[in-house]
Amino acid sequence: MGKSPCCDKDGLKKGPWTVEEDKKLVEYIQKHGHGKWRTLPKNAGLRRCGKSCRLRWTNYLRPDIKRGRFTFEEEETIIQLHRVLGNKWSAIAAQLPGRTDNEIKNYWNTHIKKRLLKMGIDPVTHSPRLDLLDLSSILTSSLHAHYCSQFINVPSSLNTNGYAMNPDFLDLTTTLFSSSFKSPEVTQNVQEITPEVLDQFQYSLLANQLHNPPNNSHFLSENRPMHSNNASEIPPSNASNFVSCHQNPMSSYWQADGDIQHQYMNIAETSVSVPNHGFDGSCRSNLDHFSSGHHVFQSNDANKVQNFGLGSSLSSPMSSSLTWNSSSTTSTAYLGGCNNEDRDGHSSHIMSSLYDAAPSSFFVNGIM
Partner DNA sequence: AATCGCGTCAACCGCGCGGAG
Partner DNA sequence: CCTCCGCGCGGTTGACGCGAT
Write out the residues near DNA by the rule CB under 7 A.
Answer: 1, 3-4, 6, 13-17, 35-39, 48, 50-52, 54-56, 58-60, 87-91, 101-103, 105-107, 109-111, 114
Q: Name which of 111 and 289 has its Cβ closer to DNA.
A: 111
Q: Name which of 14 and 31 has its Cβ closer to DNA.
A: 14
Rounded Cα–Cα distance for residues 229 and 258 (Å): 8
User: Residue 295 CB, nearest distance to DNA (Å)?
Assistant: 25
Q: Name which of 90 and 140 has its Cβ closer to DNA.
A: 90
Q: Name which of 191 and 316 has its Cβ closer to DNA.
A: 316
3-class SS letters over the chain:
CCCCCCCCCCCCCCCCCCHHHHHHHHHHHHHHCCCCCCCHHHHHCCCCCHHHHHHHHHHHHCCCCCCCCCCHHHHHHHHHHHHHHCCCHHHHHHCCCCCCHHHHHHHHHHHHHHHHHHCCECCCCCCECCCCCCHHHHHHHHHHHHHHHCCCCCCHHHCCCCCCCCCCHHHHHHHHHHHHCCCCCCCCCCCCCCHHHHHHHHHHHHHHHHHCCCCCCCCCCCCCECCCCCHHHCCCCCHHHHHHHHCCCCCEEEEEECCEEEEEECCCCCECCCCCCCCCCCEEEECCCCCCCCCCEECCCCCCCCEECCCCCCCCCCCCEEEEECCCEEEEEEECEEEEEECCCEEEEEECCCCCCCCCCCEEECCC
Contact assessment for residue 77 and residue 250, using Cβ atoms and an 8 Å cutoff? yes
User: Residue 88 CB, nearest distance to DNA (Å)?
Assistant: 4
User: Residue 117 CB, nearest distance to DNA (Å)?
Assistant: 11
Rounded Cα–Cα distance for residues 293 and 290 (Å): 8
Beta strands at 347-351 and 283-286: parallel, antiparallel or unpaired: unpaired
User: Residue 83 CB, nearest distance to DNA (Å)?
Assistant: 14
Q: Name which of 36 and 343 has its Cβ closer to DNA.
A: 36
Rg (C-alpha) for the chain, rounded Å, is 25
User: Residue 342 CB, nearest distance to DNA (Å)?
Assistant: 44
User: Residue 189 CB, nearest distance to DNA (Å)?
Assistant: 23
User: Residue 125 CB, nearest distance to DNA (Å)?
Assistant: 14
Q: Name which of 42 and 146 has its Cβ closer to DNA.
A: 42
User: Residue 115 CB, nearest distance to DNA (Å)?
Assistant: 10
User: Residue 212 CB, nearest distance to DNA (Å)?
Assistant: 16
Q: Name which of 110 and 232 has its Cβ closer to DNA.
A: 110
Q: Name which of 43 and 240 has its Cβ closer to DNA.
A: 43
Q: Name which of 112 and 358 has its Cβ closer to DNA.
A: 112
